[in-house]
Amino acid sequence: MRRLPIVFLILTLAGCIPHGEAPREPPRAEAPLHAGHDQASPLQCHIDLAREGVRFRALPDQIFGGGCSALNSVQLLDMGTPVTNLRAMTCPLARQFARWSREAVQTAADQWLRSRVVRIESMGSYSCRGLNGQPGARLSEHAFANAVDVSAFVLADGRRITVQAGWNGEDERVRAFLRAVHQAGCRRFSVGLSPDSNAYHYDHMHFDMGRGPYCR
């Protein structure tokens, strides 16, 4: 492991490399979908992001009060579709989020809405808080920058599909689209929560890389 610092420097710089200039590595087996608290392979995660043409910035590890932290985290700069309100995300979460948004979200939008998603609206990733925002509860994966909340999708045709209005709304194609992206999220993240999970999620989908799998 003596070469680690050099490799790390190279990979940190890789976060600034534009599309198509990712470090060349021999092909590897696909990483498991549920990487969980994947602190063991931060370098591999950076390689994966760079190879997939995602521009990102590696963030310094941060330990906050109250047991909260953001370790092995990145900021996504460009993965094709702009996303609002995204800052620190653990690298495994960011990797799955990029794949989900590029593959599942666009496929579902094409299939169900005959359009493309041009912006994803999030309600953020890192937040030092308990489960469901309850004080005294076990810390949420948000407290580790290991969760993201998605509230809406803006389409190329101008429509804005919100989880709050659309999940149980009148448009069955919108309902199908939202359920498709939620189900696809459940396959990529450890946990996927929708408005069907509990009242706290009436206006967003929650995805995290904590303990799972759990999909509701």
Q: Decide: 96 and 45 in contact? Cβ < 8 Å.
A: no
Choosing from 38, 48, 121, 149, the residue that interacts with Zn ion (CB under 5 A) is 149
Q: Decide: 124 and 84 in contact? Cβ < 8 Å.
A: no
Residue nearest to Zn ion (CB): 206
89 φ, ψ (degrees, to nearest 5) = -135, 140
Determine if 206 is a binding residue for Zn ion (CB under 5 A).
yes
Task: Pick between residue 49 and residue 209 the one whose CB is nearest to Zn ion.
Answer: 209
What's the rounded Cα separation, in Å, for the pair 41 and 35? 10
Task: Pick between residue 91 and residue 147 the one whose CB is nearest to Zn ion.
Answer: 147
Q: Which of residues 109-148 bind Zn ion (CB under 5 A)?
A: 147
Q: Which of residues 53-112 bind Zn ion (CB under 5 A)?
A: none
What's the rounded Cα separation, in Å, for the pair 80 and 177? 20
Determine if 201 is a binding residue for Zn ion (CB under 5 A).
no
Task: Pick between residue 34 and residue 206 the one whose CB is nearest to Zn ion.
Answer: 206
Determine if 38 is a binding residue for Zn ion (CB under 5 A).
no
- The DSSP symbol for 111 reads I
Minimum separation from the CB atom of position 23 to Zn ion (A): 33
With CB under 5 A as the rule, give the number of residues binding Zn ion. Answer: 3
- What CA–CA distances, in Å, run from 97 to 3, 83, 116, 170, 192? 30, 10, 17, 28, 12
Task: Pick between residue 34 and residue 204 the one whose CB is nearest to Zn ion.
Answer: 204
Site residues (CB under 5 A) for Zn ion? 147, 149, 206
